Amino acid sequence: MPSGKEVLTIEKSMPSGRLDSYLRTRFPEVSRGTFQRLIDEGQIRINGRIVKPTHTPRSGETVEITWPEARPAEAQPEDMPLDILYEDDRLLVLNKAPGVVVHPAAGHEEHTMVNALLHHCRGELSGIGGVARPGIVHRLDKDTSGCLVVAKSDETHLALSDQFASRKVQKTYLALVCGEIQRDSGSIRAAIARHPSHRKRMAVDDEFGREALTGYEVVERLRGVTLVKCFLHTGRTHQIRVHFQFLGFPLVGDATYGNRQNQRLDDLTHFTAKRQMLHAWQLSFIHPRSGAKLSFEAPLPEDMQDAIETLRGIRED
């Protein structure tokens, strides 16, 4: 990825195009998801203005890109256990444990998935994500567990990124949410943007947000809690957490988006979760080389199984 500040001029209008797609044609080594993130963060502007990734490129517009600074030092390999669901010479699929950070960042320089991958793969990881995120095609929050795909080459990384961007990857999560949802199934369509005053949070924002759609099915109703299966049709930051808060049923254990409801749950059941109860359960995509459809399922982590059993027992009482 380039570094520093860069300014370019759009030479030809693209009436049916998007800014993020246009930038991919200018910088093919950078994923569309990276451009979307930089646009959302205001690091890419048109004529000095913050725009959306869907902005239509027009002839004569000036694009100002502030590339993130490269980390001064690369992450170091660490001999850490990895729960590998699948591996070949192109990619890996991991079952990420809760509490593990995916890539190094401020406050989390060591003991991340990247540190473990550098040791396991011995340098055979894609470089598109930069020194901080080698091989990382998508991410899971620190306290979210489950399926995570990792690319070993730039070619594989780009192919998988395109599948994520074009919504060809099938992602199913399991979540425990506060409250008992009455409908057996439904969908939540609400645009998501960065919170206007809390920059580490996201929020539903119809004016400035990007399209977001989550489907769900109720699996089981427990004491004060519902176990739901979630289908991600888009991949926005904190999407499931924000959407279920918007619906009025924030995730069990989510201190960022559901403090009040989790306190009510504690008062009702005396149960407190130490992290948000969210698990990337199933993942399906097309193998970039063979063209075969690959499907994976990560078993529920022990703490989430225990939460379900505890709340199930309380309901039966």
317 catalytic? Reply is: no
Tell me the C-alpha distance between 113 and 136, whole Å.
9
**What does residue 117 show for φ and ψ, rounded to 5 degrees?**
-65, -40
| Identity of the residue numbered 220 | E
Comparing CA positions, the residue from 206, 215, 116, 208 lying closest to residue 173 is 215
Report the run of H or E that residue 159 belongs to, with start and end. helix 154-165
Q: Is 197 within 8 Å of 242 (Cβ atoms)?
A: no
Residue 187's SS3 state is strand
Identified catalytic residue from 20, 141, 143, 254: 141
Q: Is 78 exposed, middle or buried (0-12, 13-18, 19+ CB in 10 A)?
A: middle
**What does residue 44 show for φ and ψ, rounded to 5 degrees?**
-125, 125
Comparing CA positions, the residue from 258, 236, 260 lying closest to residue 246 is 258
| Identity of the residue numbered 158 | L
Q: What is the secondary structure of 255-308 as a DSSP string?
A: TTT-HHHHHHHHHHH----SS--EEEEEEEEE-TTT--EEEEEPPPPHHHHHHH
Active site amino acids: 141
